[in-house]
Amino acid sequence: MISITSAWQQYFENHHEGFGTTYERFILHQYFEKIKKEYSIQNVLEVPSFGMTGVSGINSMWWGYKGVHVTIIDNDKERIDLIKKVWQELSFDANVIYQPNGYTSLPFESHSFDLSWNFAALWFVSNLEIFLKELTRVTQKVIFICVPNRSNLLHLFRLIFQNNSDISLHTNNVNPEKIKKIMLKLKWQVEEEGYLDIPPWPDIAMNKEDLLQKIGLKSLANRLKNRKRNYVCILDYFSGKRKNMDKEILRYAFLEHSPRIFKRFWAHHQYLIFTSR
C-alpha cells in the first residue's frame, strides 16, 4: 500500500489522483446529498481531514460547492497551508484550522455544527474515545464516519505492502464495532450503516501506476504517468473544466447496490451514520 504518512505531498505537486480516488469522492457526494436533504445541513466539520490518498483536505469541497459553510481540521502545518491554497484557487471558502494535539479537544462551542464527519482518518486519532466524546459535543444533528473495509478480500495484500512509516497508525480505531460501542455509550444511535465505494476494480489503495512500480514494472508505470489522458482529478470537476466528470466516473457505480454479502468482501469502505438520541 502506498505510504499514507509520507506520500501526501506528491498530490499537491501533481494533482493526478487516479481513477479510484476520484470515484470514491463522487460516491461520497451521493451520501452527502442524502444527508443534506434529510438533516438540512448548514455547516460542516471535517476532522481529521487527512486520511488516505489524493489531494488532502478536499473531501468536503462538495459542501463548499453547495454553499454550505465548511470547517476543516488538520494536524500538519505544511498541509494546512497547501489545503488553504487549493480551496482559494477554486474560490471556495473553508475555515482550515491547524491543531497538533492529537484531536483530543476541539476548539468550538457545543453544538456548533450540523454535521461532523471524516473519511478513513480515525487511525490518526491518539485516543478514540476522547475524540468521539469531543465530536459528539460539538455536533448537533448527525455524524458520518467512513472507515476502510477490513473484510475486503485484498486487505491482506494491502498489509503486505504497508510502508514502515505507517506502523504508528492506530489501526484499531477504524474498527466499526469499536466505534459503535463508544458512540452508543455517548448516547448517539446508529441511524444507518453499510458499505460504499464498490467499483468493479479491486481495492489496492493506490493508482495503477504505483502498483506497477511496486511489482517491478517501472518502465510501464512511467509510460502511463507520462500519458496526459490518464490525468484524473476531481478538482477539474469543481473548477468547471470537466463538468460531466461525475457522469463519466459514475458509469462504473453499478455495484454500489449489489447484495450485501458481495459488498462485504468487495467494498473498499464501510460507513456509519449516527444521530443524537
The tens digit of pLDDT for each residue in 105-138 reads 999 999 999 999 999 999 999 999 999 999 999 9
Over 60: is that where the pLDDT of 227 sits? no
Over 80: is that where the pLDDT of 62 sits? yes
**Residue 49 buriedness (CB in 10 A; 0-12 / 13-18 / 19+):** buried
**Percent with pLDDT over 70 in the chain:** 83
The pLDDT score that the predictor gives to residue 159 is: 56
The pLDDT score that the predictor gives to residue 205 is: 60
The pLDDT score that the predictor gives to residue 100 is: 87
The pLDDT score that the predictor gives to residue 221 is: 52
Over 50: is that where the pLDDT of 2 sits? no
H/E stretch holding 116 reads strand 113-119
Q: Is residue 271 part of a domain?
A: yes
Choice among 44-48, 100-104, 260-264 with the minimum mean pLDDT: 100-104
Q: Is residue 45 part of a domain?
A: yes
The pLDDT score that the predictor gives to residue 252 is: 93
> Domain total for the chain?
1
Name residues whose C-beta falls within 8 Å of residue 99's C-beta, 6 or more positions apart in sequence: 73, 74, 75, 106, 107
Q: Is residue 3 part of a domain?
A: no
Q: Is residue 141 part of a domain?
A: yes
pLDDT band, very low/low/confident/very high, at 213 (cuts 50, 70, 90) = low
Over 50: is that where the pLDDT of 37 sits? yes
Q: Is residue 252 part of a domain?
A: yes
The mean of the pLDDT values for the chain is 88
Over 80: is that where the pLDDT of 45 sits? yes
Q: In what order do the strands lie in the sheet with 43-46?
A: 95-98, 69-74, 43-46, 113-119, 139-148, 269-276, 188-196
Alpha helices in the chain (DSSP H): 9-13, 19-39, 61-65, 77-89, 128-138, 155-160, 176-185, 208-214, 218-225, 235-239, 245-249, 260-266
Over 70: is that where the pLDDT of 25 sits? yes
Choice among 9-18, 64-73, 113-122, 261-270 with the minimum mean pLDDT: 9-18
State mean pLDDT over 222-251.
Answer: 83
Name residues whose C-beta falls within 8 Å of residue 171's C-beta, 6 or more positions apart in sequence: 123
State mean pLDDT over 14-34.
Answer: 94
pLDDT band, very low/low/confident/very high, at 28 (cuts 50, 70, 90) = very high
The CATH number covering residue 245 comes to 3.40.50.150
Q: Is residue 13 part of a domain?
A: yes
The pLDDT score that the predictor gives to residue 277 is: 81
State mean pLDDT over 200-225.
Answer: 62
The pLDDT score that the predictor gives to residue 118 is: 98
Q: Is residue 4 part of a domain?
A: no
* Residue ranges making up the domain that contains 238: 9-276
The pLDDT score that the predictor gives to residue 160 is: 55
CB of 137 closer than 8 Å to CB of 106:
yes
User: What's the gap between Cα 205 and its chain centre?
Assistant: 12
Choice among 93-102, 223-232, 259-268 with the minimum mean pLDDT: 223-232
pLDDT band, very low/low/confident/very high, at 1 (cuts 50, 70, 90) = very low
